Amino acid sequence: MSFGSRARAAMDAFGPLCVGIDPHPGLLEAWDLSDDVSGLERFAGTCVEAFAGRVAFVKPQSAFFERFGSRGVAVLEHTLQDLRHTGTLTVLDVKRGDIGSTARAYAQAYLDEDSPMAADAVTVSPYLGFGSLEPFLAEAERNDAGVFVLALTSNPEGPEVQHARGASGATVAGSVLANLARANAGAEPMGSYGAVVGVTIGSTQEDLDVNGPILAPGLGSQGGTVADVDRLFASVRDRVVPSVSRDVLAAGADVGALQDAAAALNDQLR
């Protein structure tokens, strides 16, 4: 099954929620865990136990693993492997973007099903030109994986680039969305190439219908609400994957409490 098909099936089974696995120092402390590899391992293992087979997506943030060096990356590898075949899809948040053979190497690292760090999907940056993402799209197609491309991000600096207009008059974000729509053309039930659009961007005149999933971070502590999701994504509501980290992870290290927090938010989103 393509990633688009698997994503649709997971959303239908579990609801649209994506839960971030973000072991930053403040959360480790809040969970009474040490800010080291041992604490990282316990945090990630608890998240796997809580969310595997209960939510449609989890999104490990690679940076919070990488900061511990090779041992932290090993924990990330084990986390991704433990989530395989559970029904919960992994979106590895790395926001990579490069050209040629380097982009191909990144794509193989994260999307080749035989890689120790293989995820179901990966986040990428298109700001070296959408064509620079071709190795990621090609590797995803070979492995029935997915790619989420930054389009309209929620950070205040984003509009500086994303709202800029090219010679055609289209915005950078609009061009990214149009390219995604072309890449997903004809795919059913939806394509495997998604856009990242922040819940907190306020409003947009861009066409968000890329015939693929829309990863929508910013829900909860970043200021986004379920009402914002309904309003901003009205035309593509059935393909939106709202992403939240702190509002669920704040439930603490108890597996049941984490499951209840995710379930409550999923119910609101449904």
Q: Are 192 and 147 in contact (CB under 8 A)?
A: yes
Q: Which helix (H) or strand (E) holds 257?
A: helix 255-269
Determine how β-strand 240-244 pairs with β-strand 89-96.
Answer: unpaired
Radius of gyration of the chain from its Cα atoms, rounded to whole angstroms = 17
189 neighbors 235 (Cβ within 8 angstroms)? no
Residue 140: Cβ within 10 Å count = 25
Under 8 Å between Cβ of 136 and 111: yes
The single-letter code of the amino acid at 63 is A
User: CA-CA distance, 173 to 164, in Å (whole number)?
Assistant: 8
CA distance 176 to 179: 5
Alpha carbon separation from 45 to 33, 41, 77 (Å, rounded) = 12, 6, 12
CB 154 within 8 Å of CB 218: yes
Beta carbons within 10 angstroms of residue 6's beta carbon: 19
Catalytic, out of 84, 95, 163, 237: 95
Q: Could you confirm whether 59 is annotated as catalytic? A: no
Q: How far apart are CA 123 and CA 56, in angstroms?
A: 17
Geometric angle at alpha carbon 166, from 160 and 171, rounded to 5°: 55
User: Which residue numbers are catalytic?
Assistant: 95
